[in-house]
Chain A
Amino acid sequence: MAKSIKIRAKESGGITTVKALMSHPMETGARKDSKTGKLIPAHFIQEVTCQHKGNTVMTAQWSGGISKNPYISFKFSGGAKGDELELTWKDNKDKSDSMTSTIK
């Protein structure tokens, strides 16, 4: 599976700002296919976690109310330039993907 995550992390003044973009359809399960009139089954990311040095700095739990190709940004302290960050997502069909990046 092609990498579905873009992640960028930047440290400034002790605070690391993480920005990540994932590609995912984020179907709520309430939308109808305009041609067949049938409901499109739900398919959305349920959980996103970000690990830094073995610590989980952030866990996001999502419903289908997050926009298609989700964007997320958050900040944490304690990161240093060159540290590795790993972002993982898991959807309601138990698919998952992860991506590692270094803090700049």
Chain B
Amino acid sequence: MSTEMKRRIFLKRSFAAGAVGVAAATGLLAPQQVLAAWNKAAFEAKELSGALDALMGSSAMAESADITVKAPDIAENGAVVPVTIDAGMDGVESIAVVASNNPVPLVAHFIMGPGATGFVSTRIKMGKTGDVIGVVKAGGKLYSAKKEVKVTIGGCGG
């Protein structure tokens, strides 16, 4: 084998090793870093755009018909409003639940692990009538859908 050949094999191998290293650094380690920290800035933001900037790195989102936000038309008790968000798309990374007129609009952020489908259901508090917005991050982009919920008795304070 000539030195030239050896050099080529060496290069190939080092490239392969390099690729694995990059995959470990970006693909495998990143989710754990996300898990570690509760996003204080996002959960203290008073504006939706500020919360999304802090949470997802962007607040530019497109409305999507693939996302269903299920919530009651009229919530008699704002302290308990059942909300279901079903994103009919592949590769959902995370889902944020936002109550637009709450003092702290960002209510919850669900980070979906491998295998998890774009479905979450929970119960939220709503201070007054407003939109419930489901923001879905899929394939690095943000999609949203919303539904207005009329609140007759507020659930924040009172």
A-side residues, CB < 8 A to B, are 15, 28, 30-32, 46-47, 49, 55-68, 70-79
B79 touches A55 (CB 8 A): no
**Chief secondary structure at chain A's binding surface:** strand
Q: Which residues of B contact A57 (CB under 8 A)?
A: 112-116
Query: Does B57 interact with chain A (Cβ within 8 Å)?
Result: no
B121 touches A74 (CB 8 A): yes
Give the number of A-B contacts (CB < 8 Å). Answer: 119
Known: A30-B103, A61-B38. A71 touches B113 (CB 8 A): no
A63 touches B104 (CB 8 A): yes
User: B17-25, B59-67, B122-130, B138-146: which one contacts chain A?
Assistant: B122-130
User: Chain B 66-85, CB within 8 Å of chain A: the 1/0 string?
Assistant: 00000000000001111010
B125 touches A59 (CB 8 A): no
* Minimum CB–CB distance for B80 against chain A, Å: 5
A72 touches B109 (CB 8 A): no
Q: Which residues of A contact B107 (CB under 8 A)?
A: 62-63, 65-66
Q: Which residues of A contact B110 (CB under 8 A)?
A: 58-61, 74
A62 touches B116 (CB 8 A): no
In the complex the two chains form, what is the Cα distance from A74 to B117 in whole Å?
Answer: 8
In the complex the two chains form, what is the Cα distance from A70 to B10 in whole Å?
Answer: 56
* Minimum CB–CB distance for A64 against chain B, Å: 7
B43 touches A61 (CB 8 A): yes
